[in-house]
Amino acid sequence: MDSTEQLTFLEPIPAAIEQRLQELRQLLQDASYAYYLLDAPVLEDAVYDTLYHELIALETQYPSLITPDSPTQRIGERPASQFTSVRHNIPLYSLENAFGNEDLTKWEGRIQRQRFAANPQLSDDPASHALEYVCELKIDGSSIALTYENGVLVRGATRGDGIAGEDITQNVKAIRSIPLRLNLENPPALVEVRGEAFLPLNSFAQINQERSQAGEALFANPRNAAAGTLRQLDSKIVAKRKLDFFAYTLQIQDEGQGARGEGYRGQETGDRGQGGILAPSTQWDVLQTLKQLGFRVNPEGALCSSLLEVMAFCERWSIERRNLPYMTDGVVVKLNSLILQAQLGFTQKFPRWAIALKYPAEEAPTVLEKISVNVGRTGAVTPLAEMRPVLLAGTTVARATLHNRDRVAELDIRVGDTVIIRKAGEIIPEVVRVLYELRPAGTEPFQMPTHCPECSQPLVKPETEAVTRCINASCPAIVRGSVEHWASRDAMDINGLGEKWVLQFVDTGLVQSVADLYDITVEQLMTLERMGQKSAEKLVSAIAASKQQPWARVLYGLGIRHVGSVNAQVLTQQFTSIEALSHATIDAIASVYGIGTEIAQSVHQWFQNPANHDLIQRLQITGLEFHSKLNLQNSELPQLLSGKTFVITGTLPTLKRDQAKALIQNAGGKVTESVSKKTSYVVAGEEAGSKLEKAQSLGIALLSEADLLALLNS
């Protein structure tokens, strides 16, 4: 060793610190278990956040004590650069499909024949003919395999081909209903859990709404959205999209032993966290064990004592599944006895002891009468199939998207064709296939237009996109879409300015950009068809009132591609004025949490367009808000609320609760969690509950978000 080198001796970590870290992880794990699995929260959000931030602080100070199962490790600090292929410890078999009761009966017959061939004496005992089954709804998502070593999640993988899949561990950790550590004090050496990651319908709708607002292509169905989410390189996106997970299969292996399959017979205990694990002898026991270990299990499963009960279950859920908050496409039926499962074994492709009854996708034939094209506010030109109206999944369908010219070419769809349509994910109508044998003579292939059907300008197809676009900013279709977007509820919320009036505004030349709205007079409006004086006055007042909308709504209303209402909120928190955002570099914008390079490039490019600078100048002259009235980071604001105590309850229209709290505290006010006689004001949003009721009973002053902002600006 060089004489100039010195040995560095690390100071020992205090035992109290290690103990506190363990306490914090256990508290947060228990809170997550109660919240996500039991639907019975044990900690208020503020308390959870305090404990979580304490854990982050300690782990930052003592990084050597960070463990893989820590709640802070759910979302990776760095995006994954790639997905590597991994071999499954236990193969993931496909399931044989059944399409009706006849197939189920044949399946049971095969099971009985194999049993009686192996044990001929069973056929003479009527009692032995009875079989128990477990029915589980077949969730329409993506299968994943989870591996736990000594109780800690070490790997999550896609199904792949059943033998090998892709390692998506970091993304799996972002799914809150998947435990990072098994709920067991003395776990086995190796536990394999299989289940389905899926996207709840409300999350799917929200994602598509945000993608629509940002001018992005919509996901066709929740299954595709879930699969695409699992393969995101940024696990923060996975967390934001709120994937959920149901577990259904369990394999356990003790140290030095092979896998015991679903029928592991080890230590027996029914108590959570008492050092052992249930020894399931049936599939029904497996589901209860999974719950005990901390997993969500689909609550609609059933134990059936006969195939007739199975058939009744399948028939019932063929209807009731439409009321579920997630998509299902069938029922998985398994023999309940794990001993029988082991005896029956597998074919080359399927387990003999399980089958999937698939519900047929509701499809209907109809005739294609016309292929039209629609020009959206971003200039995207989308071909649309206009069909003879047909009843499908409870609604009458007459139009369906054909996505883009590549899809049209792939289908070779022509006017006059008989086509089969269905609702993708039972939501979006789509053309599934063309019945070419019914094609009438003389049809011609459809050709995408070379010029915009609205403005006659040439269309372009960027090399990196599948979408054909009109790039004429003055195109009436783009102007209409821009004005409708500007007036929409999440943007400027101009009451009364709907599609009907926007169409007249643009067609008559009254409005050629959103800035023209603020020059409209009552007299001009009264020249329009069916517009009376009172209606004109109301609309002019509503347009004027929109000038008070905050900077975040204005930014969203500008319709910058990829910038939805949530991204607009995030951007305006960081860039508190239009000047700050317009002069920001791509790297500066991309560095904002939740934004990323694609959005940053789109925002930066929008501000490079001289026409957009002219638009901003015109809107600024009208008096719109292009800066945040209050800087949440400014601690030197006037202490207008000194001595006042506030309680915030419910969901506010634009501010998050922590933002409202910061505004109050920066102005000298105090924010508490509970209402008492000492409370000065209660700020109430939508779905305010018991706190609002208590405030009313005590006669405490109530404020809306607008009232709070007015108070801060007084």
Rounded Cα distance, 711 and 714, in Å: 5
Give me the amino acid identity at 27: L
Rounded Cα distance, 389 and 364, in Å: 10
Going by the DSSP 8-state scheme, the letter that residue 406 receives in this structure is H
Question: Residue 565 in 3-state DSSP?
Answer: helix
Question: Within its chain, how far is the Cα of 497 from the centroid?
Answer: 30
Backbone angles phi, psi at 190, to 5 degrees: -140, 130
Which ranges of 89-160 would DSSP assign to H, the alpha helix? 101-118
Question: Within its chain, how far is the Cα of 532 from the centroid?
Answer: 44
Q: Can you read off the two tokens belonging to residue 178?
A: 């998947």
For the question of residue 173 being annotated catalytic, the response is no
Backbone angles phi, psi at 51, to 5 degrees: -65, -40
Sequence-separated (6 or more) residues with CB below 8 Å from residue 538: 495, 496
Strands (DSSP E) contained in 561-674 are: 645-649, 670-672
Taking each helix axis as running N to C, give the angle between helix 565-574 and helix 201-213, from 0 to 180 degrees, rounded to the nearest 10. 70
Q: Can you read off the two tokens belonging to residue 165?
A: 């899949």
Going by the DSSP 8-state scheme, the letter that residue 110 receives in this structure is H
Q: Can you read off the two tokens belonging to residue 62?
A: 């003592």
Rounded Cα distance, 501 and 507, in Å: 10
Rounded Cα distance, 119 and 128, in Å: 11
Going by the DSSP 8-state scheme, the letter that residue 34 receives in this structure is I
Number of Cβ within 10 Å of residue 690's Cβ equals: 9
Q: Which of 138, 173, 291, 661 is catalytic?
A: 138
Give me the amino acid identity at 75: I
How many DSSP H helices and E strands does the chain contain?
24, 22
Q: Can you read off the two tokens belonging to residue 322?
A: 């439409």
Q: Is 476 exposed, middle or buried (0-12, 13-18, 19+ CB in 10 A)?
A: middle
Give the residue numbers marked as catalytic.
138
